[in-house]
Structure 1
Amino acid sequence: MIRLRRVYDPPEPGTDGVRVLVDRLWPRGLSKAAAAVDEWPRALAPSTELRKWFHGGGSAAEFRRRYEAELAEPEAVAELERLREVAASGTVTLLTAVRDPAAAHAAVLAELLGPGPS
């Protein structure tokens, strides 16, 4: 199962499973201990250029298209496949600093990884 959560929310040890930060930058004001992140595969995060383009007024549909193109790169494909294997045997929680994970790049990742986000 794939879950989406904000990295700023307290960990849920019995529910979160493997906690994976999917942002390119470490979240401001959050210690590594408080975040309780198990993995941080930067290859799955949108590139700096794509983030800047989107925050400069890019459309959500075009962001998704460009982001999926970035996820087709070999390093990202390998990370996606590895996380699919982890999710097949337990829960993977995708963590992001954005206010609404369901409307962010983490939701695109969740769709690509498998059974729906919760």
Structure 2
Amino acid sequence: MGISIKRVYEPAERSDGVRVLVDRLWPRGLKKEDAAVDLWLRELAPSAALRGWFGHDPARWEGFRHRYASELDDQVDLWRPLAQQSRRQRVTLLFGARDEEHNNAVVLKAYLEHWLTTHGPA
């Protein structure tokens, strides 16, 4: 149970549980049959405008976090089932970015965990 994050290029492991790709674009150079992705929730990724603004620039990280959280506030129907599923089994959020500290999966994980802690047990 719980939520973890992992680069989609890393090998799948049984402990990953349900593997959910949360990028809007399919990762470069990765064949779909090699990715071991159970679910691709591209709609949960940051908007194209926000992705373009951020450009993986760590100097814009705080602004990105807040803007992406605002987008997630309007997508409850997309992320709530994922959060609830993480109460029953491990959910691994997959991302393609090279920067493992400044990417949308980091923000999404924190967002979901905050919701889970503020909404008590299932």
TM beyond 0.5: yes
- What are the equivalent positions in structure 2 for 1:65-76 lying under 5 Å apart? 65-73=66-74, 76=75
Number of residue-to-residue matches in the alignment: 112
**Structure 1 segments unaligned to the other structure (5+ residues):** none
**Structure 2 segments unaligned to the other structure (5+ residues):** 115-122
Asked if residue 92 in structure 1 is aligned to residue 87 in structure 2, the reply is no
Contact 1:10–1:34, Cα closer than 8 Å, also in 2: no
Q: Deviations over 1:27-53 (max 9, x none)?
A: 011111111111111221011111111
The corresponding residue for 2:106 is: 107
The corresponding residue for 2:49 is: 49
Shift in Å, 1:102: 3.4
Identity in percent: 48
Q: Residue type of the partner of 1:8? A: Y
Q: Residue type of the partner of 1:46? A: P
- CA distance in structure 2 between the aligned counterparts of 1:112 and 1:55, rounded to whole angstroms: 21
Contact 2:50–2:68, Cα closer than 8 Å, also in 1: yes
Q: What SS does the aligned partner of 1:27 have?
A: coil
Contact 2:18–2:92, Cα closer than 8 Å, also in 1: yes
Root mean square deviation of aligned Cα: 1.7
- CA distance in structure 2 between the aligned counterparts of 1:41 and 1:56, rounded to whole angstroms: 20
